[in-house]
Amino acid sequence: MSNPIADPGHGHSPAAWTAVVIMLVAIGLGTLFFAMNIPALVWVCAALVVVGLIVGVVMAKAGYGVKGPKYVAKKH
């Protein structure tokens, strides 16, 4: 059984969700552009994956991460 006090939240934060959505869309589009043989857009999507990671880190440092002051945990 998990300890609710020590549970870090498993990434259920606005920062994590935003980063994952940006990266998921970029990977999906990159796969589509790869299948369509459009290498320039594949590289743009690869750059968007990195942008998603940066956005997640910046949002976490701004307080929207699991342990940030602007994060409010949901009751389960």
List, for residues 35-65, the tens digit of each pLDDT value.
Answer: 999 999 999 999 999 999 999 999 999 998 8
Contact 65/16 with Cβ under 8 angstroms? yes
Helix and strand numbers (H, E) in the chain are 2, 0
Does 2 map to a domain? Answer: no
Does 6 map to a domain? Answer: no
Q: How many domains does the chain have?
A: 1
Does 57 map to a domain? Answer: yes
Does 50 map to a domain? Answer: yes
Does 55 map to a domain? Answer: yes
Integer CA distances (angstroms), 29 to 1, 36, 39, in order:
39, 10, 12
Does 30 map to a domain? Answer: yes
Does 46 map to a domain? Answer: yes
Does 26 map to a domain? Answer: yes
Range of the domain at 33: 14-64
Q: How crowded is residue 71: how many other Cβ atoms within 10 Å of its Cβ?
A: 18
Task: Tell me the whole-structure pTM to 2 decimals.
Answer: 0.80
